[in-house]
Amino acid sequence: MVNLITINKAVKNFKTLIDKSIKVGGNKGKTAMIRSSKPILNIHEAIKVQLIQKQR
């Protein structure tokens, strides 16, 4: 089964990823994390799952 993630969990993951990257690498770390698209992909996946569930 696909790894299901809620929107709330995705937002928490987003915040955690950004916070950790700032603590480790400062502003450059934050910039690198944002450019990696990792934080936003969590939110995209959660919304996609929600839309699919609403269609059923």
Give the mean pLDDT of the chain.
91
Q: Which domain holds residue 13?
A: 7-55
User: What's the pLDDT band for 56 if we cut at 50, 70, 90?
Assistant: confident
Looking at residue 2, its pLDDT comes to 55
pTM value?
0.80
Average pLDDT of 36-55? 92
Q: Is residue 1 part of a domain?
A: no
Q: Is residue 23 part of a domain?
A: yes
Q: Is residue 1 pLDDT above 50, yes or no?
A: no
Which 3 state secondary structure label does DSSP give 45? Answer: helix
Q: Is residue 31 pLDDT above 90, yes or no?
A: yes
Q: Is residue 2 part of a domain?
A: no
Q: Is residue 3 pLDDT above 80, yes or no?
A: no
